[in-house]
Structure 1
Amino acid sequence: MVDSRFFPRHSGVSISELADAIGARQSEPASNSTIISGAASLSTASVGDVSAIGSDTHPDLLSATRASAVICPDRFRVHVPSGCSALIADDVPAAFALAAALLYPDALRPVPPMGVKGISPEAAIDPQAHLEQEVTVEAGSVIGADARLGAGTIVGSGSVVGPGCCVGKNCYIGSGVSVQNALIGNGVILHCGARIGHGGLSGGQSGSGGNSIVQIGRVIVQDNVEIGANTTVERGTLDDTVVGEGTRIDSLVRIGQNVRVGRLCTIVGQAGISGNVSIGDRVVIGGNTGVGSHLNIGDEAMIASMSTVAGDVPAGARWSGNPAGPARA
């Protein structure tokens, strides 16, 4: 259920306004005046809520819902109960995502734990750091020499932005995040515990044991990237590690040194990307997938969860398995 302590209900929008915002078609224009102020699952929804039917939802669950509106494909219209407005959408998940974003805008961007704007007197900020207007740095955070924070950026409690690092405008750095040897673009979200720009395992074996190679590259995170909790992005060895614009990386993902992730990619939780991998634009990598080093993954490729990638993946390919290969139709 949605707990209003954490995510307060919206003041309300009419069903017609909601339909326009999400690009849905109304089944009952007479219901225009009904006010929608929240979102919920079919089984927990009540008056004032909008819900949605999933691809595997049984029609009986839809018929029993108490929601005021349901986003659904046209074929499910007949199962929508009386008093509930059907909002017909071709892409139900996308339409529901738009509705939820409209009703709970604060849930799209994390809220710092102290909830206070400005610089905490308990933050440690080097005199040579450069902070633009309306920056928030919470208690226990450390900002190093020559670090730069753009206007509107928030640094949650207990985080570290290392010397020389640059963080763009309107970024959110969650609690317990470390940013080292990195340049961060605008509108970036780093969730709690993310580790950006640390060194990783590199080098080879000799008779005396492992030999570490100095890592003197950077991490470049482009605009509007989101990186999940406890995800690690290692700095490059000689070249940079790059995460492209608009990419979303889930929690507990490992990005190795010198990896280049393209634009608008999605990498799901517990995936591991070995060093020196090149990933194209709009690639999707499923959870618990491992990608070997020195590989290329082409634009718009999709790799299923729990796959092991040991060879180059062509652009547009659909791969799965261990070792991964073309998925069966």
Structure 2
Amino acid sequence: MEYNAFFPPHDGMRLRDIADRLGAELSDQTAGDRMVRSIAPVYRAKSDQLCYILSRKNREELLTCEAAAIICDSALSSLVPAHIPVLIAKNAHTVFAQAGALLHASAMKPSAIIEQGSDISAAAHIDPSAMLEAGVVVEPLAVIGANVHIGAGTRIGPGAIIGADVQIGRDCTIAGGASILSALIGNGVIIHNGARIGQDGFGYAPGPRGMIKIVQVGRVIIQDHVEIGANTTIDRGTMDDTVIGEGTKIDNQVQIGHNVRIGRHCGIVSKVGIAGSTRIGDGVMIGGASGINGHITIGDGAQIAAMSGVVADVPAGAKYGGVPARPLRHFLRDMAELLARAEERDKKTGEKNV
């Protein structure tokens, strides 16, 4: 594949400089002046591209690799062909992520229509009472309501809606089509296209003629360096706040209910649904398409397997999976027993798996 016009290559960085920036050890110092412009997968990397390996599974792909260098652990360096320098790192995955950010800085945030630092678009609507620090970019058709505060270096994408009294910190990116209401947002936050922040929570009480809507007067608090994926929705609190902790990363199409509190540096994958008033600790990882019951607690460092149904509290550090979710070893044992029973039944009936 040729270079991608959407994310053009870097003008060039010396391999030696990349190694220094990443804290990696360059195996061949004579290759330090090689210029690197991009990243690529192992099987098609060219002489100005950087790639990485994490296991011996890449052995065959290395035969066609022409990369400027390969990032890997010292234990795997012997697999790399002699003509390719190695950047030796203890955590190759993390170092490669850092290298990608160096070489493709524009891909780290949603793309812009107008360049950072450009004037505010004449096609945007900004209430006269809104306060925007120097360096804020507002793209066409964005709407910024009364008494909004936006910090320096933040970009508001095309068609985004920022409701009255919302506060957004510095160096944030609010991508096109996102809407933010009743929210306080920290610094360095990225909110992707179409995300919905701060709308009503789902709350009703039974009445004589059907459900009666419960007023939702809380806020959404998003702390520093959070990233929220496209079309994710985060409801404001009923009376208290919905809180997303510092450094947490949320994938696309996640639903977070009212009064949920999520800790710091969590990872929540696509299609997860979290019901109201759930408490999630720091460093929790939740696999895709999992459902989390309301009014429960998931402890610090817990891991939830994909497509799980969590109906009760999860202890700190635990690994849970299945429906209903239970300790992962129990779930795997249960699945193995079911499979064994099915195979035994098929033997007795003469049925064959197709």
CA contact (8 A) 2:302 2:319 kept: yes
CA contact (8 A) 2:204 2:214 kept: yes
Question: For the residues of structure 2 that align with 1:319 and 1:23, how far apart are their CA atoms?
Answer: 36
Once the two structures are superposed, residues 128-172 of structure 1 have per-residue CA deviations (whole angstroms, 9 ceiling, x without a partner) of: 111111111111111111111111211111011001111111111
Equivalent position SS for 2:206: strand
Partner letter of residue 124 of structure 1? H
Partner letter of residue 103 of structure 1? L
Q: What is residue 78 of structure 1 aligned with on the other side?
A: 78
Partner letter of residue 196 of structure 2? R
Partner letter of residue 97 of structure 1? A
CA contact (8 A) 1:59 1:76 kept: no
Q: What is residue 13 of structure 1 aligned with on the other side?
A: 13
Once the two structures are TM-superposed, the CA of residue 207 in structure 1 deviates from its matched residue by 4.5
CA contact (8 A) 1:64 1:81 kept: no
Q: What is residue 37 of structure 2 aligned with on the other side?
A: 37
Once the two structures are TM-superposed, the CA of residue 102 in structure 1 deviates from its matched residue by 1.4
Percent same amino acid among aligned pairs?
Answer: 46
Once the two structures are superposed, residues 244-265 of structure 1 have per-residue CA deviations (whole angstroms, 9 ceiling, x without a partner) of: 1111111111110000011111
CA contact (8 A) 2:3 2:9 kept: no
Q: Structure 1's 269 and 67: CA in aligned 2 closer, same or farther, altered over 3 A?
A: same
Q: TM-score scaled by structure 2?
A: 0.89
Q: What is residue 103 of structure 1 aligned with on the other side?
A: 103
Question: For the residues of structure 1 that align with 2:187 and 2:287, how far apart are their CA atoms?
Answer: 26
Equivalent position SS for 2:60: helix
Question: For the residues of structure 1 that align with 2:266 and 2:128, how far apart are their CA atoms?
Answer: 38
Partner letter of residue 315 of structure 1? A
CA contact (8 A) 1:2 1:40 kept: no
Q: What is residue 63 of structure 1 aligned with on the other side?
A: 63
Equivalent position SS for 2:326: strand
Bigger helix share: 2
CA contact (8 A) 1:68 1:83 kept: no
Once the two structures are TM-superposed, the CA of residue 291 in structure 1 deviates from its matched residue by 0.3
Q: What is residue 282 of structure 1 aligned with on the other side?
A: 283
Partner letter of residue 220 of structure 2? V
Question: For the residues of structure 2 that align with 1:98 and 1:138, how far apart are their CA atoms?
Answer: 29
Once the two structures are superposed, residues 153-192 of structure 1 have per-residue CA deviations (whole angstroms, 9 ceiling, x without a partner) of: 1111101100111111111110001011111111111111
Q: What is residue 155 of structure 1 aligned with on the other side?
A: 156
CA contact (8 A) 2:266 2:285 kept: yes
Matches within 5 A, 1:259-298: 259-298=260-299
Once the two structures are superposed, residues 48-98 of structure 1 have per-residue CA deviations (whole angstroms, 9 ceiling, x without a partner) of: 111111436331112321112111223332321232112222212111111
Partner letter of residue 189 of structure 1? I
Once the two structures are superposed, residues 207-265 of structure 1 have per-residue CA deviations (whole angstroms, 9 ceiling, x without a partner) of: 52222210000001111111111000000001000111111111111110000011111
CA contact (8 A) 1:171 1:189 kept: yes
CA contact (8 A) 2:71 2:96 kept: yes
Cα root mean square deviation, aligned = 1.7
Specify every segment of 5 or more residues in structure 1 that has no aligned partner in the other structure, as ranges. none
Question: For the residues of structure 2 that align with 1:321 and 1:48, how far apart are their CA atoms?
Answer: 45
Q: What is residue 214 of structure 1 aligned with on the other side?
A: 215
Q: What is residue 196 of structure 2 aligned with on the other side?
A: 195
Once the two structures are TM-superposed, the CA of residue 3 in structure 1 deviates from its matched residue by 3.6
Once the two structures are TM-superposed, the CA of residue 289 in structure 1 deviates from its matched residue by 0.9
Once the two structures are TM-superposed, the CA of residue 2 in structure 1 deviates from its matched residue by 6.8
Equivalent position SS for 2:43: coil
Question: For the residues of structure 2 that align with 1:152 and 1:134, how far apart are their CA atoms?
Answer: 5
CA contact (8 A) 2:42 2:58 kept: no
CA contact (8 A) 2:55 2:76 kept: no
Q: What is residue 26 of structure 1 aligned with on the other side?
A: 26
Partner letter of residue 98 of structure 1? Q
Do residues 134 (structure 1) and 130 (structure 2) align?
no
